[in-house]
Chain A
Amino acid sequence: MSTEEESDQPAFGRTFRVSHTYRSIIYRAGLYGSVATLLLILAFPLYWMAQSAFTTREGIQDGITFLPTPETFTVEQFDIVFNPTVGRYLLNSIIVTTGVVITVIVVSLIAGYGLARFDYKHKVKVARFLLVGYMFSPIVIAIPLYLIWDYLGLLNRYVGLIIALSALSMPFAVWLMWKYIQTIPTSLEESAWVAGASRWQGFKDVIVPQTKPAMIANSVFAFAIAWGDFTISYILMPSNEATTFPPGIFRVFTSSWETGWAEFMAISLLVSLPALLFAFFLQSYLLKGFKIRAL
């Protein structure tokens, strides 16, 4: 603090300076100005997507309007979900995402428990090796995986994509679980053992229920990776029947002139809905996840 440098001034010198109030006004203006700017930048694209989803194609072509008028309002654009191709992409995405989330939760729970509770040889080395996962680049991995999966017969198979995406989500998930289980006192488990529980029962009945916040954070992050993945699925699921939503809609988007902007915005709104809901209801869990990650 700079109080020592200004020791020749009266003790409460600052309060007598007029500039203090000015400074506070400038500070408040800056703060709320920033809030307004950031809200505008972040919300505008989302708002624009949402309002266009409810506007007819003619309404969009006629010119820019900030809200659909009664004449141009429609919900017909959402019929694109019943389009067999797009429906197929969505179904594939749902299957793959479910698979990835389940795999990530189970594997990270087991590995996190092991890292937190067993003191085995080379543990720190293994933990560091896990961090190499941060260096996984989807494109660097996907190019060699393409032929490997081809040889193994995993190309265009859900299992192949689920394995690849789970591995991508793993470093963060295992690490989060490890740090989280460390914060659960060992004594809880020990008292269960004393009462006659086996190690497995202690894990299942004492540890697992307590890791709920970490499991929620892990599943949302795994969901974000699997639901949003483009690169891996684009390369490993080349067939049109097997591909997930992001590469699928990209294909429709680059090849078809029949589908209008309003329809793309409608399907975008639907696909981003889970993200919006998670962001609103689960944000405290996610922030906790980041808190542990930043340790």
Chain B
Amino acid sequence: MATDLEPLDRSRRFYDDGFSIGRFEITSDDFWGWLTILPVVALYTLVALIPIGFAILASLHSVPLLNPQWEFVGFDNYIEVFQLDRFWGSMWRGFVFMIGSTVIQLTVGIWMALVLNKISRGSRILSTLVFTSYLIPTIIVTMMFLFMLDPYDGVLHAAGSSLGLWDDYLLGNTSLSMITVVIISSWKFSAFVTLFTLAQLQSIPDRFYEAAKVCGATTWEMFRDITLPRIYGAILVVIFLRAVFMFNKYDIIWQLTQGGPGSATTTMPILAYRETFDLGAYGMGNAIAIVMFLFLLAFGLVYLKYANPSEEVET
């Protein structure tokens, strides 16, 4: 029996004391901690850090996509990007898309969360629908709406044209296509705001409301003085997250309009894709990606400053 215990003892000692390489003291916590986080760090390095570095490098070169011969051109790509009319246009449209869809998602999402938190009957059906819209693939949402807006067989198209709201294909209309894309993306992504807010709402203890009721507070006063301060922080976080995600949104816009008609819905991600894969200017596409990344970095720093998500929960 004693011999059986020996390897266990040795490993136990190793767990407790750690070891050292030269001057570096590595405690066992350091060793095992870094070992456990290693796969994540490796994934991140491969899928985020290397691509960003690679993109910076590529953006300084002229790289034709079909025949990747790297030719150093310095900052020419950036100079060209900033001189492109379509760059500033797509940046402006990107902000319109981002702000429009964030505002709609926030309004509908919080409204939906407040309603879900209050009702008792039917809440399961409503929350199933909310989760469904969050979980179904974007391509399905796109196909559903393209079908409903189809000029020949679409139900929404028929409803809209009989009410006199629009006559031709809604997504083919230069002035209405952006707002249509904003609304369709809001249908898909409002659920995120709802779930985020609802989780916060449900963590407010009932006794707060009971105490307020005893004191004679009205529903509005309870909302203003208990609910709102409690969900305020979560709302700030969700605004940042939604704004970042919508700024980056490529798939739903591409699927609905491919940036068209003309360039009416060409946002920055769409432009980056077009420059890279349609025009074959790989270096240029990377320059746009880097410009977008810098925007995101600025967003990220603000987010980290205001929300402090690395706080640990107390058990």
Q: Which of B46, B55, B304 contacts A163 (CB 8 A)?
A: B46
Give the nearest-CB partner of B215 in chain A.
Answer: A1
With an 8 Å Cβ cutoff, the count of chain A residues facing the other chain is: 108
Q: Quick check: is B69 within 8 A (CB to CB) of the other chain?
A: no
A108 CB to nearest B CB, Å:
8
Between A and B, 22 residue pairs with Cβ closer than 8 Å are: A2-B217, A35-B119, A39-B122, A39-B126, A48-B148, A107-B39, A118-B32, A140-B248, A140-B289, A143-B276, A143-B282, A144-B58, A182-B312, A224-B134, A261-B150, A272-B140, A275-B135, A279-B129, A283-B128, A291-B199, A291-B203, A294-B237
Interface membership of A166, Cβ < 8 A: yes
- Is A82 interfacial (CB-CB < 8 Å)? no
Contact of A110 among B36, B144, B255 (CB under 8 A): B36
Is B198 on the interface with A (CB-CB < 8 A)?
Answer: yes
Chain A: CB-nearest residue to B46: A163
Query: Which residues 131-165 in B have Cβ within 8 Å of A in the complex?
Result: 131-141, 143-145, 147-148, 150, 152-153, 155, 158
Decide if A194 is an interface residue (CB 8 Å cutoff).
Answer: no
Contact A183–B250 (Cβ < 8 Å)? no
Q: Which of A119-154 contact B (CB under 8 A)?
A: 119-121, 123-124, 126-141, 143-148, 150
**Chain A residue at minimum C-beta to C-beta distance from B219:** A27
In the complex, which of the residues A114, A174, A179, A183 has the most CB atoms of chain B within 10 Å of its own CB atom? A114
> In whole angstroms, what is the CA distance A119 to B254 when docked?
45
Q: Is the CB of A126 within 8 A of B37?
A: yes
Complex: A147 Cα to B118 Cα, angstroms: 51
B272 interface residue per 8 A CB criterion = yes
Residues in B neighbouring A1, C-beta threshold 8 A: 212, 215-217, 221, 225
Closest to A127 in B: B310
**Contact A275–B136 (Cβ < 8 Å):** yes
B21 at the interface (CB under 8 A from A): no
Residues of B within 8 A of A291 (CB): 199-200, 202-203
Residues in A neighbouring B300, C-beta threshold 8 A: 131-132, 134-135
B195 and A111 contacting across the interface, CB-CB below 8 Å:
no
Contacting pair A48 B296 (CB below 8 A): no
B115, B135, B148: which contacts A38 (Cβ < 8 A)?
Answer: B115
Cross-chain pair count, CB within 8 angstroms: 313
Residue B313 CB within 8 A of the other chain: yes
Contacts of A23 in B (CB 8 A): 218-219
Q: Contact: B199 with A147, CB < 8 Å?
A: no
- Which of B27, B131, B137, B145 is within 8 Å of A45, CB to CB? B145
Please report which residues of chain A, range 241-295, place their CB below 8 angstroms from some CB of chain B when the two chains form the complex: 245-246, 249-250, 253, 261, 264-265, 268, 271-272, 275-276, 278-280, 283, 286-287, 290-295
Chain B CB within 8 A of A31 CB: yes
* Other A-B pairs beyond A35-B122, A141-B51, 4, CB < 8 Å: A3-B217, A42-B129, A45-B141, A134-B303
Asked if B196 and A293 sit within 8 Å, CB to CB, the answer is yes
> By the criterion CB–CB under 8 Å, are A148 and B50 in contact?
yes
CA of A264 to CA of B146 in the docked complex: distance in angstroms?
A: 11
Interface hub of B41, B133, B144 (most chain A Cβ within 10 A): B144
- Which residues of the partner chain B approach A143 to less than 8 Å between Cβ atoms? 55, 272-273, 276, 282, 285-286, 289
Task: Evaluate whether A120 and B34 lie within 8 angstroms (CB atoms) in the complex, with A144-B51, A179-B313 already known.
Answer: yes
Residue interface mask B195-210, A partner, CB < 8 A = 1 = 1101110110000000
A61 in the interface (beta carbon within 8 A): yes
In the complex, the answer to whether B310 meets A128 with C-beta atoms within 8 Å is yes
Contact across chains for B313 and A182 when beta carbons are under 8 A apart: yes
**Residue of B37, B136, B195, B315 touching A182 (CB-CB under 8 A):** B315
